[in-house]
Structure 1
Amino acid sequence: MIEIDPLRKAAAEVLRRNDRGEFTAPSPRQYPHLWLWDAGFTALGWAALGDFERAYREVRAALRGQWRNGMLPHVVFYGWPSAYFPGADLWRSDLAPEAPTDLPTSGITQPPVLGFVIQILFQHDPDRQRASAFAREAFPALRAYHRWLHTARDPEGIGLSRIVHPWESGMDNSPLWDAPLSRVQTEGLPPYQRADVHWVHEEQRPRSIEYDRFLALILHLRSHRYGESGVRSSPFRVYDVLFNALRHRSEEALFVMAQALGEPTGEIEEWLERSRAAFQTRLWDPELGFFLDWDCGTDRRIPVIAAGGLVALYAGLATPDQAKEMVDRHLRNPKAFAPNGGTRYLVPTVSKADPGWEPRRYWRGPIWINLNALIAYGLARYGFHELAEEIHRHTLALIAQSGFHEYYDPRTGEGLGIGDFTWSAALLLGWDLLSG
């Protein structure tokens, strides 16, 4: 039996060590600035500690980077300059007319988690007046962000937002991107020095060819001043299941908040209706029995079974039969995600049957605490309570064995990536809040 109280105490210490006042750094060494979905998960950790004022400050720090067109950037460079690469001097957000003039940011977004995070804070804050005031403060910014996701990133109105850089998915070097990234040309790329491998062994990080393509995509978007023409002409354009499932879940939350605040709901209802339909017609693959990403370059699904597909359950986008098929064929399958003689823990980020699975390399196979939490509550939403609790037990065992790492080897439980990682600590504290 794992004692939870010492883990909670250690998690609180990680948050406090990484607290920079206005925001909480994911890791002061490796990631010294604010990342969008990290900020959302971190806010849940502060709320679980009872510090709702600090949780709201985390969200405000993310919203302060919002562009005038509604976009929320994936990095806000508080504390710039630093040794982080690629930094504000490469992104050059000042080239974009919509970007803030007083705060450098990146030029892309990240999975939209703030909607459901703010709803959770609103539900659990015992100070109802404070909760209502913050929801009313944040709602216009969230609505503007989601309008941007539906216009700039879904101009055809199909119900899915395209991502134009793997970093927008949060799953930087997933095997999902091997084919789309192969179309990115890197000729003429200026020389650069990576900072990430200074802190983490290169066997656990993206390969150099992937990093070349990451930077080439930044330079492409920058050359278009991060405008519509750069999105249209990007060689990397994907409808990602995880990104769009979290968008849908946040729009469910926006709908509830709009009702509570007396705001119109018709626009949000249309968003929800279109995304439900698009998940069924475009992303569900009946042959593989799984939600798959869609490559806009080839106009077909990407045949990679990744854990992000399971996040569709957290958003309630699967039918009960689809949820059962995903669980039986993949999550409980020892050849795919379930433990067997080679692995001991749930949930690897990629099916072990995929040729791109690498159990120690970043998003190509290790276990991440945030995905485990989202998947567990998705399973609970469909009645798979024992499996959800099993994932929770495995998560606690990983942390008890190895501490609050970025990610973990599913075979041994060894902690990988940077240590004292904020969202691993925050989600141990805030795990129960994700139920809504």
Structure 2
Amino acid sequence: MEKNAYELLLQNARQGKTSEGKEYFYICPAPGKYPHQWLWDSCFHAIVMKHFNVELAEKEMITLLSMVQEDGFLPCTIFWDANFFVRFFNNFLYSSKYFNRITQPPVVGISLEKIYSKTKNKQFLERTLPLAKKYYLWLMKKRDIDNDGLVSVIHPFETGADECIVFDKIYGLKNPTTLTIYYYLLKNLRQCKRLDWDLEKISKEEVFNVESVGFNCIYAQGLRSLSRLFSEVDNDKDARFFNKKANATEKVIFEKCYDNVNDIFLDLAFRDKLKVPVVSFFSLMPLILDNIDPVIADFVVKEHLLNPKEFWSPYPIPSVSMSDPSFSSSGTTLLWRGPTWINVNWFIFNGLKKHGYHDVAKEILKKTIELVAKSGFREFYNPFTGEGMRTKDYGWSTLIVDMIKDISKSD
């Protein structure tokens, strides 16, 4: 499995030089369907690649962070070698030929820390930390306009879970058709473009302003990782700053996103911070946080994750609670409405280990190994049958390697 994973990553690797002479190296999610560089995909690919070739893992992150803009913005998607038509369409949607104008879950800090833990290469940190810092400061300044510690997303694509059922509720849709969902996603992009991708303007017009639990948990852990990495380079000031920010974001997630009625974490929508009544994998993500209350963690694990009516399917973890009326185990057209994704399993696996749920973590690892053994490195999987779906040779499904290595190390 490890050999196949390494071969897949090398097969999906792209390198070259732009017309301006800028060199790049990245691993695309899947040749053909997903040939470009995506923010959180790159972070996942680098995390796996560090087990095989640390130089390539570092190059992936250096390439990604080279696209941090002057104000600190880091794009979701970068079109290094796209053709004219891709650039034309992207310019139509985003007013930019070379990258889009939305971001993605900030796995950057986590990825840098995992690579450094393997290499102890301080030169790598000296090259990447200033850019990573710039990006996280952009998130603080531009995406936390009420200064409460939670950052907002301005479009479902920014969560990485593009067409998740959560967003049906936010758009006010009930049993929408595929065409309806695509219409609202495109309309949302056009509105954001009209408002220059500015959260303050977008928030005032109530276009789309969501404090996603999943995004904020990844953000908090990224802050925590940056804090530890700045300690490694003897920058105590930044280490203290990012640790303080991580603590603040964690605290607000526990205070504002936890729904006491259903004992689960929920996303918050718009300026009124309305809890979105959909239980998805986002609701489990606080398990990755360092300081989750053990009582709450226990309830999330035992009453939700291990609940056979919610997330404990034959091949966990489904992306949406199986009790949701809109849950679907297939996903050939609309994504993130039920199927199992390996990056979700990777996050929750790490959270379970962190908080002492080793047996549950091992069971998720076992089931994830079965998925890959049965269906290969697919984009996602049927949570009941384990059938692999949509794209083959999908990059981040190689995260199973990091899970295997992690459990071997702890055993």
Per the normalisation by structure 2, the TM-score is 0.90
Which runs of structure 1 show a deviation greater than 4 angstroms over 4 or more consecutive aligned residues? 82-87, 432-436
The equivalent residue for 2:22 is none
The equivalent residue for 1:195 is none
Distance 1:414 1:252 in 2: 36
Residue 27 (structure 1) shift: 1.0
Residue 433 (structure 1) shift: 6.3
Q: Are 2:26 and 1:23 equivalent residues in the alignment?
A: yes
The equivalent residue for 1:363 is 336
Q: Is the 8 A contact 2:378 2:392 kept in 1?
A: yes
Q: Is the 8 A contact 1:336 1:351 kept in 2?
A: yes
Distance 1:181 1:250 in 2: 29
Q: Of residues 165, 190, 205 in structure 2, which corresponds to 1:175?
A: 165
Q: Are 2:132 and 1:161 equivalent residues in the alignment?
A: no
Residue 9 (structure 1) shift: 1.6
Please give the secondary structure, in 2, of the residue aligned with 1:20.
strand
Residue 215 (structure 1) shift: 1.4
Q: Of residues 367, 374, 378 in structure 2, which corresponds to 1:394?
A: 367
Residue 135 (structure 1) shift: 0.8
The equivalent residue for 1:11 is 5
Aligned pairs for 1:134-149 within 5 A: 134-149=124-139
Distance 1:179 1:434 in 2: 37
Distance 2:60 2:380 in 1: 23
Structure 2 residue identity aligned to 1:169: T
CA distance 1:93–1:254, shift in 2 (3 Å): farther
The equivalent residue for 2:355 is 382
Aligned pairs for 1:226-305 within 5 A: 226-232=197-203, 233=205, 235-263=207-235, 264=237, 265-296=239-270, 298-305=272-279
Q: Are 2:325 and 1:345 equivalent residues in the alignment?
A: no
Deviates further, 226-235 or 141-150: 226-235
Distance 1:391 1:267 in 2: 35
The equivalent residue for 2:310 is 336
Residue 313 (structure 1) shift: 1.1
Residue 106 (structure 1) shift: 0.6
Distance 1:278 1:229 in 2: 20
Residue 405 (structure 1) shift: 0.5
Please give the secondary structure, in 2, of the residue aligned with 1:363.
coil
> Structure 1 stretches of 5 or more lacking a match?
1-6, 95-102, 184-205
1:148-190 CA deviation, whole Å, 9 max, x = no partner? Answer: 111110021101001110010001111111121238xxxxxxx
Q: Is the 8 A contact 2:75 2:100 kept in 1?
A: yes
> Structure 2 stretches of 5 or more lacking a match?
16-24
Q: Is the 8 A contact 1:93 1:104 kept in 2?
A: no
Q: Is the 8 A contact 1:373 1:431 kept in 2?
A: yes
Aligned pairs for 1:64-213 within 5 A: 64-81=66-83, 87-94=89-96, 104-125=98-119, 128=120, 131-182=121-172, 207-213=178-184
Structure 1 residue identity aligned to 2:225: A
Distance 1:182 1:270 in 2: 37
Deviates further, 223-232 or 319-328: 223-232
The equivalent residue for 1:412 is 385
Distance 1:282 1:14 in 2: 41
Distance 2:275 2:116 in 1: 37
Distance 2:63 2:405 in 1: 21
Distance 1:152 1:398 in 2: 40
CA distance 1:419–1:83, shift in 2 (3 Å): farther
Q: Are 2:397 and 1:428 equivalent residues in the alignment?
A: no
Q: Is the 8 A contact 1:374 1:434 kept in 2?
A: no
CA distance 1:65–1:88, shift in 2 (3 Å): farther
Distance 1:63 1:433 in 2: 26
Deviates further, 236-245 or 61-70: 61-70
1:317-353 CA deviation, whole Å, 9 max, x = no partner? Answer: 42100000001111111111113xxxx2111111111
Q: Are 2:219 and 1:219 equivalent residues in the alignment?
A: no
Q: Is the 8 A contact 2:268 2:274 kept in 1?
A: yes
Structure 1 residue identity aligned to 2:387: E
The equivalent residue for 1:194 is none
Q: Is the 8 A contact 1:405 1:424 kept in 2?
A: yes
Deviates further, 77-86 or 259-268: 77-86
Residue 276 (structure 1) shift: 1.9
Q: Of residues 54, 57, 61 in structure 2, which corresponds to 1:55?
A: 57
Distance 1:384 1:214 in 2: 38
Please give the secondary structure, in 2, of the residue aligned with 1:367.
coil
CA distance 1:272–1:423, shift in 2 (3 Å): same
CA distance 1:305–1:364, shift in 2 (3 Å): same
Please give the secondary structure, in 2, of the residue aligned with 1:252.
helix
Query: For this pair of structures, how many residues does the alignment match?
Result: 390
Q: Are 2:293 and 1:319 equivalent residues in the alignment?
A: yes
Per the normalisation by structure 1, the TM-score is 0.85
Structure 1 residue identity aligned to 2:112: I
Distance 2:291 2:260 in 1: 15
Residue 87 (structure 1) shift: 4.5
Residue 375 (structure 1) shift: 0.3
Please give the secondary structure, in 1, of the residue aligned with 2:131.
helix
Please give the secondary structure, in 2, of the residue aligned with 1:72.
coil
The equivalent residue for 2:38 is 35
Overall identity of the aligned pairs, in %:
29
